[in-house]
Amino acid sequence: MADSLRSIPRTDDLLNDPGFAVPVASLGRERVKAAIRQAQRLARDGAITPADVRATALANLPLAGPCRVINATGVLLHTNLGRAPLSARAIEAVAVAAGVTDLELDLATGRRGRRGRTALAALAAAVPAAQDVHVVNNNAAALVLAATALARGREIVVSRGELVEIGNGFRLPDLLASTGARLREVGTTNRTHPRDYAEAMGPQTGLVLKVHPSNYVIEGFVSAPTVADLAEICRQAEVPLVADVGSGLLHPEPRLPHEPDATSWLKAGADVVTASGDKLLGGPQCGLVLGRVDLVELLRGHPLARALRADKLTLAALEATLSAEETPVQAALQADPAVLLERAWQLAAKLTAVGVPAQAVSTTAAVGGGGAPGVDLPSAAVAVPETLAVPLRMGRPAVLGRLERARYLLDLRAVVPTEDKDLFAAVVTACK
């Protein structure tokens, strides 16, 4: 027992541990010391082992502000990790926008200008197929605005196979019903035909909604009309077609041939297309509204638009994202599996050299974030002992991987190459 107590880490040693540097700087030395002493008491009482004191103390520390995380999960757009990381250009733009800017001022005339006009101009230039564009605070807001402005007190015709539920129990039909519109469900879960829409439409139809089920795939005996099919039906009935493209692609992506994009759907005849900004576009959280000038103007002028508008930081980040040569999401999507495996070998060799059991392995990554379901991305990872999962997650920066076959895999598909040095240091620190 005495030997066990002697092995409890000393307070000063832990306070000087690199893993506690960020908590000490953000929370203060005394608060960190209190958490360490509490963990030491648990070890003396036998509730935890001396080896668990460090991780327990870190776990008991309150987090101050957002914590940097190295995304080694193999999921490019991890919703729990904030989805798309911003490009360097977007980060710089946010820093400028955090101060005083010309958000609603025309510097040339000294008069009030259109809010976010340069961001809107960049979006319009990025999607020439759209007659007009608007930005709100997320894609759900874009759908709410469209449903409220076009179908409040009227019907929304939508396929039963597209009434999706996404993360945290959020259901699309509940969102649409909250706007005061009535849902007119057509077809079945697996098969909906153009005639189902045509037969359901009438004087009470406010809009037809096409939703890309971006977080799941139904295979087998399935059928669904194309956007072009629906556009022709809607044109004849003089009813707007609103299409939720899902994961936010603005143009076709060769690596994701089955993922729809805003440009293609607009060209196919959709009157309004909505999309997310923080998924495959690689920008900040926002909702993009693209389409016919009269409809976009109607949505922009609706009273609800004020409550759903994007803030100045979002507009700045969006504009910079649209002008960036490559976003981190694009880089991760286009990463060469051979290069990833070489990085994994180098990291594993360095870790092995300092006594950390590590192995480079080939793996499979995913897009995530409600995009490209079922698409496997060849990747590579560093496999380390599963016992490192908690200390890595509690480190600073935190490192999140995935457990697989009693190993903790640190997948490199979404890890920026410049983070390899930090990833190595984090694993070494977690082993202490």
pLDDT surpasses 70 at 202: yes
Residue 65 pLDDT more than 90? no
The residue that leads in pLDDT, 98 or 325, is 98
Q: Report residue 246's pLDDT band, with 50, 70 and 90 as the boundaries.
A: confident
Pinpoint the residues of the chain covered by CATH 3.90.1150.180.
Answer: 67-84+327-432
- Please check the confidence at residue 70 and state whether its pLDDT lies above 60: yes
| Structure confidence at residue 2 (pLDDT) | 57
pLDDT over 60 at 1, yes or no: no
The most confident of 318-322, 324-328, 368-372, by mean pLDDT: 318-322
pLDDT at 34: 92
Tokens of 238: 């003089």
Asked if residue 137 lies in contact with residue 285, where contact means CB atoms within 8 angstroms, the answer is: yes
Portion of the chain with pLDDT greater than 90, in percent: 81
Q: Residues 114-164: pLDDT tens digits? A: 999 999 999 999 999 999 999 999 999 999 999 999 999 999 999 999 988
What are the tokens at 306? 């004020």
- 4 has pLDDT over 80: no
Q: Does residue 194 sit in helix, strand or coil?
A: helix
d(CA 58, CA 432): 14
- Please tell me the predicted confidence (pLDDT) of residue 361: 97
Residue 348, pLDDT > 60, answer yes
pLDDT > 80? residue 221: yes
**What percent of the chain shows pLDDT beyond 70?**
97
DSSP of 106-126: ETTTTEE--TTHHHHHHHHHH
Which residues are CB-contacts of 182 (< 8 A; sequence separation ≥ 6)? 154, 155, 156, 204
Q: Is 243 helix (H, G, I), strand (E, B) or coil?
A: strand
Pick 97 or 62 by higher pLDDT: 97
Domain 67-84+327-432 adopts which CATH fold?
Aspartate Aminotransferase, domain 1 (3.90.1150)
Residue ranges in 60-116 assigned as alpha helix (H): 88-97
Question: For the residues 319-345, what does the mean pLDDT come to?
Answer: 96
The chain-wide mean pLDDT, for the chain, equals: 93
- Looking at this protein, which amino acid is placed at residue 258? H
Listed residue (297, 259, 16, 344) closest to 150, CA to CA: 297
CA distance 71 to 426: 13
Reported as a single tens digit per residue, the pLDDT across 395-416 is: 889 999 999 999 999 999 999 9
Kindly provide the residue ranges of all beta strands, DSSP E only, lying in 139-214, ordered along the sequence. 155-159, 182-186, 205-211
**Is residue 403 classed as helix, strand or coil in its secondary structure?**
strand
Find tokens 């980040």 and name the residue: 317
3, pLDDT greater than 70: no
Tally the C-alpha atoms within 13 A of residue 313's C-alpha that lie toward its C-beta.
8
pLDDT score, position 156: 98
278-309: pLDDT as tens digits = 999 999 999 999 999 999 999 999 999 999 99
Q: What is the pLDDT of residue 81?
A: 94
Task: Give the model's pLDDT for residue 8.
Answer: 92
Model confidence pLDDT, tens digit, residues 380-397: 999 999 999 999 998 889
pLDDT recorded at residue 64:
60
| Average pLDDT of the segment spanning 81-90 | 95
Number of residues assigned to the chain: 432
297: CB partners within 8 A, 6+ apart: 132
**In the predicted structure, residue 63 carries a pLDDT above the cut 80:** no
Sequence ranges of the chain with CATH classification 3.40.640.10: 88-325
312 pLDDT tier (thresholds 50, 70, 90): very high
With a cut of 90, say whether residue 25 has pLDDT above it: no
How far separated are the first and last CA of the chain, in Å rounded?
22
Fold of the domain spanning 88-325: Aspartate Aminotransferase; domain 2 (3.40.640)
